[in-house]
Chains A and B, each alone.
Chain A
């Protein structure tokens, strides 16, 4: 699984590419957590655009990152899922705590609004 991260003014954008299952989730988790630590950003935006397969392990990955960002007083936004990935994430109700946006740009807008409220 390929993991690309981008750090913007107030968020960390993580783009996943490949198949996300229990096997690949371990590496994904580890890499993202490292980046969360070094980036010092409070908000995390996931892009699932490149995810060609996902099972319920994907829910665990989002859930775990949500708990981490919450501890830091930040948020997690999920974006750009294909219909199947979205269906699986939706089943768990995860979008009630880590909201869904169609695009990374929309998610960034929410993060910057959250940020300016705090300032």
Chain B
């Protein structure tokens, strides 16, 4: 796929960076002139993926590195890749189930992947226990009229 523009940001797994990362991605996506609804969906999907990395991959330890890459295409696709080098996911299908959480008792809703899936057009997860997780989301923006 040929990209029109791309960015890559890296930050330590501090929870304050959830707001930073979704705002940064929204500012990049704004170059494509998305609707307010599309922009909110992008921000929410990024927020879910980054929160997962901080909460699950690094177990809130604050010493991990989260990488967010975003690319835009000529046909108005936004490709978002959130990756970490954390504990990884053993059973991806299980993790994707609505309401499933590996951290029950901590008020986790278990809806992160469901929200990502519903707010983007494609969600791909690759993970290796002990090595890390990579979440790729693709969002097709409406064509400009």
Contact = CB atoms under 8 A, between A and B. Distances in A.
Secondary structure type dominating chain B contacts: helix
A62 to B, nearest CB: 9
B36 to A, nearest CB: 10
B55 interface: yes
B109 A60 contact: yes
B111 A91 contact: yes
B18 A22 contact: yes
B70 to A, nearest CB: 17
Interface residues of B, number: 23
B107 A55 contact: no
Question: Number of contact residues on A: which range applies?
Answer: 20 to 34
Interface in B90-114: 98-99, 107-109, 111-112, 114
Contacts of A26: 15
A25 B51 CA distance: 12
Interface of B: 15-16, 18-19, 22, 40, 43-44, 47-48, 51, 54-55, 98-99, 107-109, 111-112, 114-115, 118
Given A21-B18, A88-B115, 5 more contacts: A22-B54, A26-B15, A55-B115, A59-B109, A61-B107
